[in-house]
Amino acid sequence: MKRGFRDAGVAFFSLLVFSLASGVFADDAGTAPATTAPATAEPAADGAASEGAAAAAQQDADQDKNKKSRRAEPRGRLPNYYGRVVDEEQRETIYAIQRRYKDELAAFEAQIRELRKKMNELRSQRADEVAAVLTAEQLAEVNRLREASRQRRAQSRSAEPSRASEDSR
């Protein structure tokens, strides 16, 4: 197996394990995985005490909701090997830096896609103009040579696995 595929497989497996462990995936019903609720004390006979308990329970529920919503946001990805050496504060600082650059990088990536599209259009236009210089016979010969080259490449690609297996013996 090629090294790149193995590393990608390990990264995917690690992400899958992390996602399952953190409860990112929903259960079959389409809801978030159930968590066990903390045990509550017996209701108090006094109305004020029960209001305080209800307020505390609401505050706990709000904190749990905030934790879930914060966790639902993607945090980013640390550069290779950083996860082993940074503490939580450094980790959050790195994520903040990544978020700061995210929009600018996305804009540049969009520009690059557009430029590549224009380059491909220009290359196609150039190839059409160059081909127009040739006579019909010359163009037919060029097409025949291109096809022969494609066939040789296809044969060499199909022969490579057998060479690789011979080399490993």
Q: What is the pLDDT of residues 113-147, one digit of tens each?
A: 999 999 999 999 999 999 999 999 999 999 999 99
Whether the predicted pLDDT of 149 surpasses 60: yes
H or E element that contains 36: none
Candidate ranges 10-19, 48-57, 101-110, 152-161; pick with highest mean pLDDT = 101-110
What is the pLDDT, as a whole number, of residue 75?
A: 76
Query: Rounded to whole angstroms, how far apart are CA atoms 58 and 52?
Result: 10
* pTM confidence score: 0.42
- The residue type of 73 is E
Amino acid at the residue 86? V
Distance CA 40, CA 75 (A): 33
d(CA 27, CA 35): 12
Q: How many residues does the chain have?
A: 169
**For the chain, which residues make up each domain, given as ranges?**
71-133, 135-169
Percent of the chain exceeding pLDDT 70 equals 54
Confidence of residue 47 (pLDDT cuts 50, 70, 90): low
- Ranges of beta strands (E only) in 27-96 are none
> pLDDT-based confidence at 40, cuts 50/70/90?
very low
- Residue 88 in this model has a pLDDT that exceeds 90: yes
Q: Kindly tell me if the per-residue pLDDT of 38 is higher than 50.
A: no
pLDDT tens for 17-37 read 555 555 544 444 444 444 444
Average pLDDT over residues 93-120: 96
92-109: average pLDDT:
95
